[in-house]
Homo-oligomer: A and B are copies of this chain.
Amino acid sequence: MNEVNARRPGRPASQPGDQLGKREKILDVAEDVFAEHGYAPTSLRHIAKRASVNPALIAYYFDSKERLFEEVFKRRGTQIARRWHELLDALEARPGSTPSVEELLRAYLTAEFEMKVSGAAGQSFVRLQARVHDETDAMHFRLRREVYDEATQRYLAALERALPNVDPADIYWRMMFIIGAFLYMMSGVDRLDDLSGGRFTSGNIDELVARLTNFVVGGMERATTNYP
């Protein structure tokens, strides 16, 4: 997928003053295209066409598809991580009581869904994130680690303190189940409509966050059983 680099024609002619604008525009378009098609099938040429720029300009700014994707992913991924920290800081700064499981999980989910409702760009990123979650190459694993681990680990530690009677292994496993559930709901392909024969639909984000929070609290607080 590196066809642009193969015929990379060196620096393009000097750009007028809107360089920064063009760079951001390429990131915006790349975010949309990666969200629509996923990582593997997307080429720099495709992104260039949609952005109405020369592929050489993308190569000039970002070098390769991998590097471009990395910038797209980090641009909003770090916003989510920062928001996770802020919401947890606020809960932990509150005098008198430690955060409850429900407060922790609502905060964790809120940061993700805030991004989704922040506008078309946020929605695009959230869909991208859901689409690439099953990419298994080293780059994707590294990006998830770099962008999300530190903040998520703070929530896990807080959950361990809030649930002294639940096996820590369960707390970590359950966090995986929660991540799976919200990635699925954010990918916009859930089958609520189909499976309920139209009785229920999943369009309302506030309803989704409230119902999902309630569900994951029930799962997270469930007593540990003796596993086989």
Q: Binary interface profile of A, 26-53, with partner B (CB < 8 Å = 1, else 0)? A: 0000000000011011000000000000
Contact across chains for B172 and A179 when beta carbons are under 8 A apart: no
Known pairs A40-B41, A145-B194; A199 contacts B168 (CB<8 A): yes
Contact across chains for B189 and A184 when beta carbons are under 8 A apart: no
Nearest Cβ on chain B to A57's Cβ, whole angstroms = 25
Q: How far is the CA of A177 from the CA of B150 in the complex (A)?
A: 25
Cβ of A61 < 8 Å from any Cβ of B? Answer: no
Q: Which residues of B contact A178 (CB under 8 A)?
A: 181
Q: Binary interface profile of A, 129-171, with partner B (CB < 8 Å = 1, else 0)? A: 0110111100001001100010011001000000000001110
Task: List CB contacts (< 8 Å) of A197-213 with chain B.
Answer: 197, 199-200, 202, 206-208, 210-212
Chain A at the B interface: SS class: helix
A88-96, A117-125, A219-227: which lies at the B interface?
A: A219-227
Of B145, B149, B153, B220, the residue contacting A218 (CB under 8 A) is B220
Of B37, B184, B214, B215, the residue contacting A179 (CB under 8 A) is B184
Nearest Cβ on chain B to A180's Cβ, whole angstroms = 3
Contact across chains for A134 and B189 when beta carbons are under 8 A apart: yes
Q: Which residues of B contact A207 (CB under 8 A)?
A: 227-228
Cβ of A9 < 8 Å from any Cβ of B? Answer: no
Q: Binary interface profile of A, 172-197, with partner B (CB < 8 Å = 1, else 0)? A: 11111111111111011111101111
Contact across chains for A192 and B211 when beta carbons are under 8 A apart: no
